[in-house]
Amino acid sequence: MKRNDILWKSILEDTFEDFLRFFFLNADDIFDFSKDFGYLDKELEQLFPPEDDHYASKFVDKLVKVYTKEEQEEWILVHIEVQGYTDNLFSERMFTYYYRIWDKYGKRTTALAILADENKHYYPSCFKQSFLGTSLRFEYNILKVLDQCDRKLAESDNVFAHIIMTVKIALKSKKLNDKNLFDLKIQLARRLLGQKISKPKIAKLMKFLKFYVVLNDPFLAASYNEEVYNLTHKTYTNMGIDEAVIYIEKEEAREEGIEQGRKEKSTAFTKSLLNDKRFSLEEIAELVDVPLEFVLEVKDSM
């Protein structure tokens, strides 16, 4: 769950524009995508300090500042919760987030819950309260992963549809043997790599798939990594020799130029996970996608 929390937080930022378009069919008429999003996760955590045990930061939550296309420059807030298990207090928590966000910002907020649980009968969407003539009804948007149609997800050109497909495969994993799970994972990897999606975004999606859908069999896990490697390197087979050489040289130059920035980000991420003290060194290496030696080096430098 801790690993999945981190994966969700990261992928929501990496694909937030796609997420809005997936959730709201008229997103392009509502939101101004020419303006940057503002991620207010730290501010959201401050609304629920550690001593407030019941609402402490134990769940995947995002608070994002988004500009709209209204005549006057205006921004609203998008609050997202990813709920991976049945919780009878979930709607109460959503309402508590809402009124604390309103108290701090005084801005219109849309609340969205992604229900990534296995319970077919779990559909929280409303918090109600009534006493002596005073009543309250708070409703929020939900996306139930189990209810999403496989065919429509596969046909969708929205990147976020692939994320939902990944989560559906993970939910099926308990009912499948490793070989069937491997086959499903490879099918989705092939579909992803066949899409016209930017390389940086493909890399994020492939990482989400790699770590969210876990293959327990070491041989199949290694086979998956090898298959993905072969798939990603097929790019060169359709090029002439000279064209391929030029392409590779450009890629190497680009990689060299951003390597320093990537190393700095990996170092910062590794330090934050080490300070968190919830993960083993091996888990940190897997989450950051770096060798164990890199984690040990960062740990020794702290």
Question: Mean per-residue pLDDT for 113-127?
Answer: 93
> Pick from 65, 135, 123: which is nearest to 90 by CA?
123
Mean pLDDT of 248-268: 61
Average pLDDT over residues 43-60: 60
CA-derived radius of gyration, the chain: 21
Q: What percent of the chain has pLDDT over 70?
A: 85
pLDDT mean over 149-175: 89
Torsion of CA 96, 9, 24, 185, to 10 degrees: -130
Mean residue pLDDT across the chain: 83
- Give pLDDT, residue 31: 94
The enclosing H or E element of 94 equals helix 90-105
The one-letter amino acid at 28:
D
Ranked by mean pLDDT, the top range of 104-113, 173-182, 271-280 is 104-113
Band of residue 147 on the pLDDT scale cut at 50, 70, 90: very high
Q: Residue 123 has what pLDDT?
A: 95
Burial of 122 (0-12, 13-18, 19+ CB in 10 A): middle
Residue 243 has pLDDT above 90, yes or no: no
Write out the two tokens for 283.
């888990």
Per cent of the chain over pLDDT 90 is 36
What is the reported pLDDT for 280? 82
Per-residue confidence (pLDDT) for residue 275, from 0 to 100:
84
| Lowest mean pLDDT across 83-87, 199-203, 253-257, 267-271 | 253-257
User: What is the pLDDT at residue 136?
Assistant: 96
